[in-house]
Structure 1
Amino acid sequence: MGTDYSAGLYLRLSRDDDKLGESASISTQRRMLAAYAKEHGYLVYAEYVDDGYSGTSFDRPGFQRMIRDIESKKINMVITKDLSRLGRDYITAGQYTELYFPSKGVRYIAVNDGYDSDSPYNDLAPFQHVINEMYARDASKKIRSALQSKIAAGCFIGNFAPYGYQKDPENKNHLLVDPSTAQVVQYIFQQAELGFRPADIARELNRRGVPCPALHRCQTHPGLDAANYSRRLEWTPSTIGKMLRNICYLGHMAQGKTSKLSFKAHATIEKPREDWVVVEHTHEPLVSREAFDLAGQRMASRTKRPAGGFHNIFSGIAKCADCGHNMSITSAHGVYRLACGAYKLRGTAGCTNHFIDYETLCRLVLEQLRKQLQLTDEQRHALLNRAMELPGRADGGRTDKRAATLKRRTAELDRVIEQLYEDNLSGKIGDERFQRLLARYEAEQKGAEAELQQIQERAEAGSPADQRDCSTLLAQWENPEALTPDLLYRLVDRVEISQGRYETGPDGRRVKRQQIKIIYRFSSAN
């Protein structure tokens, strides 16, 4: 008798099925299966819903919950709309229908396909499983082809925008600058430019309590579990290093970095860099090419610090004027010198034996920087006026554009949420999917309103700059007391050191003559 059965109704809808419209919706499946169970007198124990999950994988929350209930003997019947709802992998689907369900005493019914495991007339079921997989394979090819076309056109196809950016509300394949995280990206490049190691940068960001990319993603996308994206849930040297090498921050799009072995497999393989698809100038850059290259050079030259606590601030900057190699640090009796690296490595076969006292070089470079940093009264006045400008004027109108975008998006989200309620009431969207989408859109709207409020508050408050503070800061820059890494890395590209020679002075003492050439990062004369 039918009342001996405790039935589970399994409902599934993937994104590929959306184009089938109402005929495949969760609400339609629910009405059909409930009516079928009632008509045949089957007691329904529970519904198991997977909304938005592909049939090529059986690792679905609703399906796995149903399997647990079968193992616990809570249900002994499974009813689906058709065989494809169970799955589109013909091997695994066949294992469930031909082996697993019979071994557990579970009767399986696929209503539209006329499949009933208790019936002797199921010979076509294996072929139906094959047809379902062929459908999934064909759909996968079409999706892959469409994605490849988008990649070639420079359209962003990722699920989440890179840290520092956000998806354009009007075009999800285009990236816009995210003001809340773009400043962090620029800070990272500035610190790397100044010679700080990725470990140093990560440590400072963690000390400040800045959320790492994984945490930020989960904060802006409710429902995501940060543990699925990061083990340590903090900034790491590896994360900083990847960002410093990411050409996305130059405004270029690099995609197609991985490929799948099969449309049924989740595993991916890394593709060589030369096979990546790179399209330049697809979105607004966060750093200049000069800053990007210099940050990479500084990072590479500071992967290790010398033993004993001594830090050579000229590492990667001091060059041999004759052979171009880096000047390398040497020490004797506590006195540090910079010597030609090629000579240290290969002797006279590499270069000549020329060197310079480290403290002497620091003093000479500092003296020259002081001369370069002297400002005229006119220049000083212009800089102070610029520092007192309102924040929105210095960013090329980016803040105003961002505010306009946020206003448009909040209005659009009002309409989206209203339509969402209507679709739920009409049965076009199931309750579970409705709740998930509603939470996502309301969280996005709340974040947009909060950011808009911050922009308005900053605009009303005006510039926080104080002219006396700016004057003090300018004075410190014009007459620095010491040669710091910050000062050196911001202003100097490299220092070329030539072979020295000794001459006898009028007093009979030997004097060393050596040419030092400073190449600055600005257009002033060397």
Structure 2
Amino acid sequence: MTLRAVIYARYSSDLQSASSIEDQIRLCRERAARAGWQIVGTYEDAATSGASLMRPGIQRLQQDARERRFDVVISEALDRLSRNQADIAALYQTLTFAGTAIETLAEGRIDEMHIGLKGTMNALFLKDLAAKTRRGLRGRVEKGKSGGGNAFGYTVLRHMGEDGEVRRGDRQINEDEAAIVRRIFTAYADGMSPNRIADQLNREGIPGPRAGKWDKSTIHGNPKRGTGVLNNEIYIGRLVWNRQSFVKDPATGKRQARPNPESEWIITDVPELRIIDQALWDRVKTRQEGRKIEQTDREAWERRKPRFLLTGLVKCGCCGGGFSTIGKDRFGCSNSRNKGTWVCSNRTGITRQELEGRILSILSERLMDPELVKVFAEEYIAERNRLAAAHVDDRAVKEKELTKLIKEQDALVNALLSGLPPERIKAKMEQLEARQKQLERELATTSVPNTTVRLHPRMADTYHDRIQAMITALSEPDRESEARKAIRGLIEKIVATPVPTKGKRMALDLTLHGDLAGILALSLNADRLSGQQKTSCEQEVEESAGFLVAGACNHLKLRLLSAYRALLEQSALAWSRGLLRSAA
């Protein structure tokens, strides 16, 4: 039987030649030809580090392996697949489970010994490489050269040294960009906001760092971390390196910045690179100090949580950017505010009350449907029965244990009468008597519950009151609840697009995307079939969400209805279950 083989090839960075991929594939094809294997596919990751498995090529390879599309993977060496010890072990386990072997040109057929030894060697290689690279960068910085990257306002020079080697890392002032830097510092010191500065620069078509658009964060940055134009000390002739280090999240493969203590910073004076005079720098720092709001780490973390129900879910229909707070309880396009109307012309805002109200009002009406009251009653009865059954089972277990304890005590008494020394059974008897008294007390304080469930005649009113309270709570800032999490999980995004009104004023048209849109659309379609008239707001939701159910097959409808039921269970029904458990 001819084995089906695939080839995996990778090279690490843009500094390496793209022909490396072709060379690896050619050599692997020759290996497959000698073994008589049939090549059924190739997987590639160009300019991608082997320190993580978050690579499209290796991810596709694993997915196809699970589907048993090939029998063996050929690669130049084990480190082409991964340099991370844990990742290569996990990859080996995945492929082995799928019945797929690994064959490399350097090591041959891979087994557990290769994974252990080579995986450790590759991990040590990465660690050693990082240490050597960092040591080299530190030496460059201490000589006043660039330690990686470049700041706006400077040009990195490359020239040939006397020994014939290319010299890198030297910088000189770029006068055109330096003029922009001085303009930013002067404007901010004179009282202009970073938003306004970014807007003016974008209107004039002045390219920002890396030829991108100017943003308020590009200008103001983070003073504590030294990011942003206004906080880069190289503009006053001080090169600061090692402010932060980066660690890789093993779950996502993404790097996260961690600030280093100031004692570990490497600071070098480079007076020839000064662009901003000390007086202007001090004016900027004074204004920043005056606008600073001291907050604890906990408060900073709390700010990252969604404060309102729809925080982070609203997107601009013009530029695709997010909506953020532009005033008290008012939202608007972030790009328009931070980068200016030259980037996005959408200056139409919306209050939080209107934004949430247009969504929650329809949701509230849907949850008040009589059919849902019926569902509520069924769930209530089922929960009562489950708790009653659990209560009966618990009592039966205790009664059985009590009977067993009494028998054990009788056995000890018989042993005592037969001549067994009392000191040998005293402790055991005391333990049995203590447990017997505890069980008798617990059984005396509980009774067998009545499993007959009677529905209160005003249960529908109670349900409506609870739903209304839930909807009201969703609008409260900083309020965390299962219902809020459930609803946010059903919303993919809300697209806000400005449209003219009859009074020639602009208003925002909201388009709901996600499972909640499908749920509402299904519910509204049901009303249409029953002949019930829809409001204009309902019509808008149906039109915006109609694509989710138009021609939808049964499994999509079932998925949406399942999500709807989950929403009920996590919100409206939770109160009854809590009351029942506390009563039990």
TM-score, normalised on structure 2? 0.42
TM-score, normalised on structure 1? 0.47
Q: Which has the higher contact order (CA 8 A, sep 6+)?
A: 1
